[in-house]
Chain A
Amino acid sequence: MSRVPEAFEDGPAFIPYLAVGDPDYESSLEYVEALERGGADLIELGLPFSEPIAEGPTIQSAVVRSLEGGMTPTRFFEFVEELDVDVPLVCMTYYNLIYQYGDEPGPRPFVEKAAEVGIDGFVVPDLPAEEAGPLREACDEFDRDLVFIVAPTTRGERLERIMDQVSGYVYVQARLGVTGAQEDVSDQTGQSLDRLAQWDVPKAVGFGIKTGEHAANIVAGGADGIIVGSALVDIVAEGHENGDSAAEVADRLETKARELKDGALRGVEQRVPHPERQ
């Protein structure tokens, strides 16, 4: 069974993302474990693909560091097995890596292996609902969740098609564009949450969240979770450039994680009853 629902059981979920293997395998293990100590309720583990078309410069650079450090799907699965964390894990990657893995073409071998090492679900930014049939089937077979991204431009029939297939949580993209930390969070989020209100699946907002205050605002606006990637990857990048020890970087990640998690918790108290969203 997928453990994804546990993440949303008590209060808003804090969902951090890191590219696995950035900047190297061993440090990356420490970093992911630090995120759990900092209060992560679920962790998105990025399996780097050479053409990350949905990523901004921060995560692109992380992908390059990780690939140069020798990360592969096989190493990724070893990493997940070795990882000492108890929270649910979601693998974020691009479809070609899922499609190519194993002896038969198609997503089944990848999903089977991922389930075996303890991955609970998948987010695949270049796989829209129209092309997701085979992956959805494999996820059903192995009881895994398939998370879809909903953009500010997603409406009407498209939205329904996505919501028919989604499980675990919806990834609400806070603004148009690619990943990357922002100075302020977009007000497109509220409208997206309103559009999604009729569906009974947790809504986690991501793309641009950088501070505890952002987290609080987003949760106050009705999100069930917040997803933070680039702001954490920035910490890894900076530590790497300055030659800081993995332990120091891990501490900073834990502190940042706590700030974001506390922000999310504060956001619950700031929630105002919403007339349409009860």
Chain B
Amino acid sequence: MSTNTDGKFGDYGGQYVPEALMPAIEELEDAYERYVLENEDGFMDEFRRRLRDFGGRPTPLQRADRLSERYDREVYLKREDLVHGGAHKLNNALGQVLLAKYMGKERIVAETGAGQHGTATAMAAAHLDIPCEIYMGKRDINRQRPNVFRMRINGAEVNPVTVGRGTLKEAISETMRDWATTVETTHYVIGSVVGPHPFPSMVRDFQSVISKEARKQSREQFGGLPDSVLACAGGGSNTMGAFANFVDDEGVDLYAVEAGGSSLDVDEEKGVAPNSASLSTGGDGILHGARTKLLQDRDGQIMESHSVSSGLDYAGVGPELAYLVDERRVIPVNVDDDAALEAFHRLSQEEGIIPALETAHAFAYLHEEYENLGETVVVNVSGRGDKDLESVIEETSKRNIPNAPDMSMFQGGL
């Protein structure tokens, strides 16, 4: 794992933020180096203890019996859906909220797309007794209502963001604006491996517990390392978390599965890319504090992205992933909305695990390309799908998904 401290991954990364934020970013850099990298005051010990007691770690590496049979190879599931809150997001949120306490901050702000990071942050903030405000796009609020309720019930304020299309991109911009106003007392808990340095490195470090455990569990359970690791990629935090400790293992292929949405084509006129495949199709540019791969038009205006899963619906991606793709260490692939929905139903029926729609993308890729993934495959189950049930019913009813249960019973409400 590259523990770089200059904030650059090749040419990617950096700190492209308004001057008002720079002192806070420098303060955070300093805190990251001291507490996270050097375990000052036993920060990392406390973090690990809380991840265990509050978060429920370690999570199992489970052999998926029916998928293994179906695809005629060993398929293992890294069960991040079993982390408290139902997704990998708590690994990062707990780390950052704890860090904010160590830094003496009095307030937490965070953005959320699917609401998983927002709920994880709200839980961590309640657990560690610090006030918390979450910014969430209006459209995502409608798509992910159960998570909005959870945040409110944990005591967080939820601020709807109405500018633009009202998804993750706008929510991040709005949280940065809040932070620019309140930086002296507030920590911004960013939800993925995106944003200015030190966020991409720090979030990766908090999430890398996934691959640290998975690597050890692989050794114990099948006496070696997997041939490939699959993880969905929005901003890429579960992805980097699942990959980090395998990056130096050259025999392990790393697949970042992006949302192909409804199509990989872009509409330059309207500024719309009906997908969120920034690693697969994006160009080099600067967004939200970092240089990375982006969905943008010829002029550099950021495109509106699309995915059936709000957690993947983002025009950018973490700079380290962009770098690892250029270095050919990570293979960027994508699957479309329909394939993800089909995979959602398959995993629910065949393994008894209802995955998040984000996670379902990784399983759709497994379904399409299993023959090329080697004898042993680890899929990161980044989260559970309870939050998605309303969207799944709606999206499945609109389409012809061959393996879906009969949706008519849900028509007209339950």
A177 and B296 within 8 A (CB): no
Q: A131 with B177: in contact, given A96-B287, A100-B299 (CB under 8 Å)? A: no
Report B287-309 CB contacts with A as 1/0, cut-off 8 Å.
11100001010111110000000
A86-122 interface (Cβ within 8 A of B): 94-97, 99-101, 105
A97 and B15 within 8 A (CB): no
- In the complex, whether A5 has a CB less than 8 A from a CB of chain B is no
Residues of A within 8 A of B301 (CB): 49-50, 67, 97
Bound: A162/B301 CA distance, A:
27
Chain A, Cβ-Cβ closest to B24: A153
B292-346 interface (Cβ within 8 A of A): 294, 296, 298-302
Bound: A54/B163 CA distance, A:
14
Bound: A74/B300 CA distance, A:
12
Q: A126 with B299: in contact, given A99-B286, A176-B180 (CB under 8 Å)? A: no
Q: For the complex, would chain B's binding face be called helix, strand, loop or mixed by DSSP majority? A: mixed
Q: A53 with B176: in contact, given A72-B299, A96-B285 (CB under 8 Å)? A: yes
- In the complex, whether B26 has a CB less than 8 A from a CB of chain A is yes
- In the complex, whether B58 has a CB less than 8 A from a CB of chain A is no
A99 and B20 within 8 A (CB): no
Residues of A within 8 A of B173 (CB): 51-53
Chain A, Cβ-Cβ closest to B7: A130
Bound: A270/B288 CA distance, A:
42
- In the complex, whether A151 has a CB less than 8 A from a CB of chain B is yes
- In the complex, whether A60 has a CB less than 8 A from a CB of chain B is yes
A51, A56, A73, A149: the one contacting B19 at CB < 8 Å is A149
A51 and B169 within 8 A (CB): yes
Bound: A108/B188 CA distance, A:
34
Report A44-68 CB contacts with B as 1/0, cut-off 8 Å.
0000011111111000100010010
- In the complex, whether B35 has a CB less than 8 A from a CB of chain A is no
Q: A105 with B300: in contact, given A51-B173, A64-B163 (CB under 8 Å)? A: no
- In the complex, whether B40 has a CB less than 8 A from a CB of chain A is no
A51, A73, A153: the one contacting B20 at CB < 8 Å is A153
Q: A173 with B296: in contact, given A96-B285, A96-B286 (CB under 8 Å)? A: no
B299 and A154 within 8 A (CB): no
- In the complex, whether B14 has a CB less than 8 A from a CB of chain A is yes
- In the complex, whether B16 has a CB less than 8 A from a CB of chain A is yes
Bound: A74/B24 CA distance, A:
36
Residues of A within 8 A of B184 (CB): 153, 176
- In the complex, whether B284 has a CB less than 8 A from a CB of chain A is yes
B284 and A126 within 8 A (CB): no
A100 and B296 within 8 A (CB): yes
Residues of A within 8 A of B287 (CB): 51, 96
Min CB gap B68→A, angstroms: 44
Q: For the complex, would chain A's binding face be called helix, strand, loop or mixed by DSSP majority? A: loop
Residues of A within 8 A of B26 (CB): 158
Min CB gap B142→A, angstroms: 21
- In the complex, whether A128 has a CB less than 8 A from a CB of chain B is yes
A64, A99, A125, A152: the one contacting B300 at CB < 8 Å is A99
Q: A154 with B284: in contact, given A96-B300, A100-B300, A178-B181 (CB under 8 Å)? A: no
Residues of A within 8 A of B300 (CB): 49, 73, 96-97, 99-101
Chain A, Cβ-Cβ closest to B20: A151
Residues of A within 8 A of B302 (CB): 50-51, 96
Min CB gap B300→A, angstroms: 3
Chain B, Cβ-Cβ closest to A63: B163
Chain B, Cβ-Cβ closest to A125: B18
- In the complex, whether A17 has a CB less than 8 A from a CB of chain B is no
Residues of A within 8 A of B183 (CB): 153, 176
Which 8 residue pairs across A and B have the least CB separation, nearest first? A100-B300, A177-B181, A151-B20, A96-B300, A153-B23, A96-B286, A50-B301, A54-B18
12 more A-B residue pairs beyond the given contacts A74-B299, A100-B300, A154-B23, with a C-beta to C-beta distance below 8 A: A50-B301, A54-B18, A60-B163, A100-B285, A100-B299, A105-B284, A126-B17, A153-B22, A154-B19, A158-B26, A173-B19, A176-B180
19 contacts between A and B (CB under 8 A): A50-B301, A50-B302, A51-B169, A53-B173, A54-B180, A94-B286, A95-B286, A96-B286, A96-B294, A126-B289, A127-B16, A128-B15, A128-B22, A131-B15, A150-B19, A153-B183, A173-B20, A176-B182, A176-B183
